[in-house]
């Protein structure tokens, strides 16, 4: 399984099998950190790689929200490390370019791309980026010959 994480408060974690037939999505707004810690623990043996969006604070973001965002981001990294899940940071520009869905700030673009790729899943703004980040990870794995 490949894991993709959009670490924002309204982001999500998505897991895809290398053949893209099995898909599991966990929106962060619907799970407590305890729930998510259990999800990480349960999936850790299956995950070969996690791609987490490389993030930073935004220019007009307040101090409290920046601190909260950084704390959440650090929590995800800590849980990945605790479960020995290998991870790599991926910039939005890189995965969006690879999947031909540069947003320019319009989240509807990534939502539409995710819906196009996964028509049987009800795509929301909360899950679209995580699902596309995982898709990017699967594509990279396939290019590197990891698909058996």
pLDDT of residue 130: 96
Residue pair 85/50 in contact by the 8 Å Cβ criterion: yes
Residue 25's domain comprises 2-143
pLDDT of residue 118: 95
- 148 found inside a domain: no
Q: CATH number for the domain including 79? A: 3.30.420.10
pLDDT of residue 66: 62
How many domains is the chain built from? Answer: 1
pLDDT of residue 148: 43
| Rounded Cα gap, residues 130 and 3, in angstroms | 8
Reading the block at residue 15, the tokens are 């897991």
User: Tens digit of pLDDT per residue, the chain (148 long)?
Assistant: 999 999 877 889 999 998 888 999 999 888 777 788 888 889 899 999 999 998 765 566 666 666 666 677 888 899 999 999 999 999 999 999 999 999 888 989 999 999 999 999 999 999 999 999 999 999 998 887 655 4
């Amino acid at each position: 399984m490949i894991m993709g994480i959009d670490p924002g408060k309204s982001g999500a974690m998505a897991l895809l099998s290398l053949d893209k037939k099995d898909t599991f999505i966990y929106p962060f707004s619907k799970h407590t950190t305890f729930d998510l810690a259990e999800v990480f623990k349960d999936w850790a043996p299956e995950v070969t790689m996690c791609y987490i969006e490389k993030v930073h604070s935004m220019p007009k973001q307040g101090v409290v929200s920046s601190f909260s965002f950084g704390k959440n981001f650090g929590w995800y990294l800590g849980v990945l490390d605790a479960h020995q899940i290998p991870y790599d940071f991926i910039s939005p520009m890189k995965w969006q370019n690879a999947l031909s869905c540069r947003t320019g700030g319009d989240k509807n673009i990534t939502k539409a791309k995710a819906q196009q790729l996964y028509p049987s899943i009800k795509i929301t703004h909360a899950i679209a980026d995580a699902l596309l980040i995982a898709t990017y990870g699967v594509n990279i794995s396939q290019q590197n010959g990891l698909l058996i």
